[in-house]
Structure 1
């Protein structure tokens, strides 16, 4: 009897399996459904690289959505919308020719209505209208990408020639090596590639979009500038104005910080020790915000970037750790400049210059980067392991002479002024005074 029951069970399972495998009972199908009604074409608007097609969705319970089918770069592609939308986007063309697009409705079984063919004429594609400028920079090249108002996803592909840069050769006669591919969805952005030899080099540049379209290739000869780490053993504190500072008698344009003896003093910024056992610089509570101090680099240099490290693993993205920085430079003795060339309180830029004497100019400005980003209101809503790693070991501020705020970024300087615009605490609570701390400061550039 057991054998008979087992045999019947196996037979029943086999029948169920056969039925469930039948194509007519797929769970994504609904049996026989009528072909849906055709949508009505309401309007067509040409856009860069494609078109926007407006449709009216018929009141048909069998209709699940609308599909546009078209040929692009030799392949058949589709754009689909649900029955609750009315706009189809056709995209990915790199020409301005006329193209056919077939519009159909479809049901839950993907059965389609009769097609309606419309003609579209794309506007010039972003891959052809986007522009770039390439500049020589320290340790590499700097690239400004502009004219991408639709915020299209673009890649700028950069290659370098490994043959003689003085030879007058065409692209296909050169030996190319990939350098970088920069991805952007911005209308205007400046990007940097470092780690390149400081020798004359022919670079090739072209844009590529997500659809495999490419722009014409441009060849540009550039010579990256040599970049070295400045010898921090030559750096020293160079007080400007009365020192120690009397916070009740601040002198306009002079240093305005008070050292807290609980830290290692200004020299701790340049001791090269950053592993949790080294000293750090600590400014006393009650310092005005913004606040600054002056450093004699002990050498003349053009600064390319400044790497900073916080107090070792102490309250990341909080408290008196620096959130917003400025770096200023001058080749003139700032003590004499304060006497001979002071700022005038009536000057239009007096506040933005913090009242600094006229020999000073800004070389870099920035906010502590956080890979996972800040909250929409700018506050810190926690941090990831990647945030912490970047915060401790990778923070740096780049000097950029293409930035309208820092046109003299690469000018020769001897003195560096470190400006703490805001700590994380002062930013969050809108404080105008407070303590702050920094672990290490490391300038890079070209020494004269």
Structure 2
């Protein structure tokens, strides 16, 4: 019996060997699929940081796609496309040198065709063409990043040395602390970093792209401006003849805007249903002749009421003036024939726009601008983290850092009037908290 089993095993192995040999020992087959045909390269176009390869896909039903293999920053990488596409991006270079790229087609078993080699020469990479400029700001710095026309994702890596700011030292000699990594993917953007001490500081900054390429490091010396919360006990409503809001007696009155009640059932300000839209009111900040320069304005909605809905404010403007606005209205009026009359709501010439913004929603609005629900993060931001930055680098607010004594709140629209344009409507707000530079 044992001899019979042994003989059967030998016969089976022999049959398998014969079957294997009958394929001619071909290594171009796997799972029965033939070796893929090579794709035809019809165009090579250099682009920033790489190149775009265009192909003609062979008439081969077994081809699944095209793969390009190339060396980048010392490592071999692949870029793949399916057979239904005809262009492939080779990317991630930060030089202007010629690079070799091997191109192959592959089938469903990932068996690849013979390689074709194509040479590419990238254009200047975004990490090298983009530039940045730092500006001193309240509680930190602002940095403008520009010249990124391809909208590549870039990170600005920032470190700070506050211990040796007065010394002329190299990067290696300084005591660095990580400050932040700021991300951008637009042609031009202004970013802000706060919570820094108002002391001389040397910053180290460079750009980094998604492939690990970096720009040249720059050292910048700044001194962040000190900021403090304004003393709201000195605020009072200052009735000016062109204020157009209509108070609803069911609310807490204008003083509810600065009573420090931001949660629960605390008082809040309500404008009546017939209130014009846009609408505004004026506040005497109580800062005296020294005035103040504002840095940001934090807002709180009516506590947890109609979140992202109804009469809650969607778009704001904040204006400021140093001179008495009652006198300015008489001595320095804005004529209806002036080209900027509508833009400045007819405000007298002493008023300057400090900030303009829309209620931020972390998850974003629907494509048509409407609210299609909200997340817990949206609600958290809406209730506790909404603020508007005063920025004199914005082309809309070049005089934002002018010294002021009076603040005008302008409600451009609410969530109700944004979606359904109207010239009047009710609105409400819980609290405002301005920050800035106050001379005591």
Task: Flag whether TM exceeds 0.5 (same fold).
Answer: yes
Could you tell me how far apart the structure 1 residues matched to 2:322 and 2:154 are? 41
Which aligned segments of 4 or more residues in structure 1 are displaced greater than 2 angstroms?
none
- Distance in 1 between the 2:263 and 2:94 partners? 53
Distance 2:381 2:202 in 1: 33
Contact kept in structure 2, 1:35 and 1:62, CA below 8 Å: no
| Residue-by-residue CA offset, 1:203-251 (whole Å, 9 max, x unaligned) | 011000111110000111011000100000001100001xxxxxxxxxx
Q: How far apart, in 2, do the equivalents of 1:353 and 1:275 lie? A: 33
Give CA deviations for 1:56-75 in whole Å, capped at 9, x if unaligned: 10001221111100001110
CA contact (8 A) 1:30 1:108 kept: no
1:62 pairs with 2:47: no
The yes-or-no answer on 1:259 pairing with 2:259 is no
**Corresponding residue number in structure 1 for 2:121:** 121
Residue in 2 aligned with 1:328?
Answer: 319
Question: After the TM superposition, which residues 302-321 of structure 1 pair with which residues of structure 2 at under 5 Å, given as runs?
Answer: 302-321=293-312
How many angstroms does 1:32 deviate by? 2.2
1:108, CA displacement in angstroms? 1.3
Structure 1 distance, partners of 2:238, 2:249, is 18
The secondary structure found in structure 1 opposite 2:405 is: strand
* Separation in 1, partners of 2:183, 2:54: 31
Shift of 1:379: 0.6
**Shift in Å, 1:329:** 0.1
> Counterpart in 1 of 2:3?
none
Q: What does residue range 104-115 of structure 1 map to in structure 2 within 5 Å?
A: 104-115=104-115
Give me the whole-angstrom Cα distance separating, in 2, the residues matched to 1:129 and 1:419: 40
- Distance in 2 between the 1:301 and 1:405 partners? 20
Distance 2:329 2:37 in 1: 81
Partner SS for 1:298: coil
1:293 corresponds, among 278, 281, 284, to: 281
> Following TM superposition, by how much is the alpha carbon of 1:30 offset from its aligned partner in structure 2, in angstroms?
6.8
> Is residue 237 of structure 1 aligned with residue 259 of structure 2?
no
Q: Distance in 1 between matches of 2:185 and 2:403?
A: 35
TM-score (norm: length of structure 2): 0.92
TM-fit CA distance, 1:277: 2.5
C-alpha contact (below 8 Å) 1:162/1:174 kept by paired residues: no
Aligned length: 408
Structure 1 residue 362 displacement after superposition:
0.2
Determine the structure 1 residue equivalent to 2:101: 101
Q: Within 2, Cα distance between the matches of 1:326 and 1:75?
A: 52
What is the root-mean-square deviation in Å for CA atoms of aligned residues? 1.0
Deviation, 1:109, is 1.4
> What is the SS of the residue equivalent to 1:172?
coil
Q: C-alpha distance in 1, partners of 2:92/2:246?
A: 60
Aligned equivalents of 2:74 and 2:346: distance in 1?
64
Which of 331, 348, 352 does residue 357 from structure 1 map onto?
348
2:410 pairs, out of 408, 415, 419, with 419
Q: Does 1:373 align with 2:364?
A: yes
Q: Does 1:389 align with 2:391?
A: no
Aligned to 1:244: none
